[in-house]
Amino acid sequence: MKESEEGAAQLLGPIRAKALPDDVYDALLDMLTWGALEPDAPLSIDGLAQSLGVSPTPVREALARLEPTGLVRRTVRRGYRVSPPMSREQMYELADARLVLETGAIERAMRRVDALLPDLEAAYARHEQSARVLLEPGRQNEHEFVRRYFEADWSFHEAILKHCGNRYIAQAVDALSFRVHRMRQTIGIGVSDAGDAVPEHFAILEAVRRRDTAAAVEKMRIHLTKLEARVSA
């Protein structure tokens, strides 16, 4: 088994047999989305199965399910590999897709502002707290603090999607979330935009508090445009 696979799997421990196959999928997804496996690294089905304490079959099935997310790729005669780093063009297109979808989502969510606001307040508080912790000296290179920060960051956007009233917009953005994780892998696990994203989220929240739909859409557009510039720099 490759050393990177062994080390990544040790973070998770063996899978309970009764939890198969979904827990194998979740375990591999966790390893892939949080940078436990190096980009373009080969993935040994037998090695992963051994480290997770399961048979090769659920690992093979999980990797097949993961292929459409873009996190892994399968090549003839070479098996599965972690996907390579995203190109600048791919990162730009991802940010642009989010811009189209999420400005539409917040415009629609504002029609349900009384339900949206408390969820967005809670999500912002979580994001702001996780950013303060992450920005303490030395924390940006610690996997768990980076993970908590990005989960909190994404929860802010999920709060808006939850109330947009269009399942297809929500599903489309959720599908892009895998690519967002892959983009973060490309940028580097020790890098965050906490100092920029938190005030940008606050500006969105303030517009929602005022029940100003046009301002909320504009603040979301500004946030995602600035994010696009940050990842493309």
Percent of the chain residues past pLDDT 90, beyond the cut: 53
What's the CA gap between 59 and 141, in Å, rounded?
A: 29
What does the pLDDT look like over 86-134, one tens digit per residue?
888 888 888 899 999 999 999 999 999 999 999 999 999 999 999 999 8
- Read off the pTM: 0.79
C-alpha distance across the termini of the chain, in Å: 36
- Work out the average pLDDT over 7-23: 60
Spell out where the chain has E strands: 42-43, 72-75, 79-82
72-75, strands of its sheet edge to edge:
42-43, 79-82, 72-75
Q: Which residues pair with 80 in a beta bridge?
A: 43, 74
Q: Is 70 exceeded by the pLDDT of residue 12?
A: no
Domains located in the chain, CATH noted: 3-82 (1.10.10.10), 88-232 (1.20.120.530)
Q: Which residues pair with 113 in a beta bridge?
A: none
What does the pLDDT look like over 191-218, one tens digit per residue?
567 889 999 999 999 999 999 999 999 9
Omega before residue 21 within 30° of 0, cis: yes
Contact 166, 172 (CB under 8 A): no
